[in-house]
Amino acid sequence: MGDSAQSERNIGVVMHVAFLVLVAAALARFLFRHPESARTPAIIALSAAVAVVYALGARRGRVAWLAAVVALWIVLVALAPSFAWCAVPLLYTGLRILPVRTALLLVTVLTAFVAGAQLRLAGWADPAVLLTLPTVVVLATTVFVYMRRRSEEQRVLIEDLIRTRRELAATERREGTLAERERLAMEIHDTLAQGLSSQRMLLQAADRVWASAPDSAHEHVRAAEAIAEQNLTEARQFVRDLAPADLAASGSLAAALRALAGRESSAALTVRVHCDGEPPRLPDRVEATLLRIAQGALANVREHAAARTATLTLTTLEDQVVLDIADDGRGFDAAGPPGTGDRGYGLAAIRARLQQFGGALTVESAPGEGTVLSAAIPLGAS
């Protein structure tokens, strides 16, 4: 749009200069041919007036200004037909600044006065003036109006495009913000929130046996301290937006799962890891997602299932990698309404993580029969 506006200004400058040059040329021609004419003072005065009026209002380009210039020009043409061709820049100026119908009316008036002036100079009904001049004017006006309309259509299209791009950018920002909020919520839920919940449970257990079994209380406190240290590491990794701490330290998903199992195992819960074959190297985001899913699932087992054992099984198939989390806890009605609180959000967070890679979550559970979560991600996901 900036280039178009600049081109419009350049055309305006050319038209303004052309008009002033034509006025000066017509005045010089008249003075050369009619040096002793009684009309000379009036024509000089009118020429100066039309030039001054035109120059003063050319930059603003108002309708009243153009009307004043045309009125002065008509008087000049009546006194000296040599000024007739000053109508050319007036014609294009009118087409530029006036509504189309008003501009066409102006073109008709200008053409009639130019034709009349040329017939006066020729002294007879010259066909070139009667037919050629109107034809050329009609052709030039048609092309100009067509280009003006095309330019207006392009301007509207460009404005629509800019508005659409702005709306799209705003939508993408909103979607990006929501996606980032969801990601942060899942990360906090699966790491810091679960860690804080475990610390609370351990400290409550230590408080209950602090007087009767100080050794057990100290063991609970040390376990809470270890979880706090792990949470601190996770928080630092989280701030730097790096891979989960276990994954960054071990370098492989299988090793990270074993580290997680060792940390989650306790006197009340034994966590085992089984890898069906040697898992391939997966994209970092996929490995981080599977590890986060394991963390969230084990947190649910620890807090809700009252299980004695849990098993993490990593299986690589031809087209997908599957992580199973099985426990022998109290189970729940998988076909019933979604749970509430942390448990309900935990499963929803797992599903949201998997959907990012086109994966799926399968839940098999029944009251008193334990639970099996199967998280599957296509191998082509990245």
**Which pLDDT score is estimated for 382?**
63
Report the pLDDT value the prediction gives residue 300, as an integer from 0 to 100.
Answer: 85
The confidence score (pLDDT) of residue 174 equals 80
pLDDT value of position 310: 94
Q: SS3 letters for the chain?
A: CHHHHHHHHHHHHHHHHHHHHHHHHHHHHHHHHCCCCCCHHHHHHHHHHHHHHHHHHCCCCCHHHHHHHHHHHHHHHHHCHHHHHHHHHHHHHHHHHCCHHHHHHHHHHHHHHHHHHHHHHHCCCCHHHHHHHHHHHHHHHHHHHHHHHHHHHHHHHHHHHHHHHHHHHHHHHHHHHHHHHHHHHHHHHHHHHHHHHHHHHHHHHHHHHCCCCHHHHHHHHHHHHHHHHHHHHHHHHHHCCCCCHHHHHHCCHHHHHHHHHHHHCCCCCEEEEEEECCCCCCCHHHHHHHHHHHHHHHHHHHHHHCCCEEEEEEEECCCEEEEEEEECCCCCCCCCCCCCHHHHHHHHHHHHHHHCCCCEEEEEECCCCCEEEEEEEECCCC
State which residues of the chain have pLDDT below 70. Answer: 1-5, 61, 122-123, 129, 177, 180, 183, 187, 190, 237-246, 248-249, 277, 279, 336-345, 382
pTM over 0.75: no
Quick one: pLDDT at residue 343?
47
pLDDT of residue 245: 64
- List domains and CATH numbers for the chain: 2-125 (no CATH), 251-382 (3.30.565.10)
What pLDDT score was predicted for residue 3? 60
pLDDT tens for 51-61 read: 898 888 877 76
